[in-house]
Structure 1
């Protein structure tokens, strides 16, 4: 007989942690990688965010909502990297 958890742990912190990591990765790529290579590195950053999302959610030890939490993590990471890449793209258009 399975014993239900009395107070399940919050899992949204792991989702937000992946978003923050993706934002930090995006800014680091924008600052340290030449403009010609940024698209490839941003793709690698998203791949790293995927692996990180799986690792964080697996370490939480909860099976309920696993796919939803991983999907939210990756969607947020995609949006964060997308906004950062648009910002660096617009900054590259500015002459000077």
Structure 2
């Protein structure tokens, strides 16, 4: 199923790019990376939401044999949400300390 392959690649790519932006923001404290990061999060949210919506549609019509693969793809996409929240929380906490 093509959508599960796309979902897995999107989840991995989102995690990789998000992690790279997080590490750059950690290593170099310049404000431009925060703007890039926020734009990236918005774009990734929109793209992954569309993929997630299509996966849920596929899940509703898929045979029981394919549901496991679709659910795994959904979980892989959803895994990025707590990671993004954790990265944002760490960056905001560190930025707050730098401002004090």
* Structure with the higher fraction of residues in helix conformation: 2
TM-score, normalised via structure 2 length: 0.49
What TM-score, normalized by structure 1, do the two folds share?
0.50
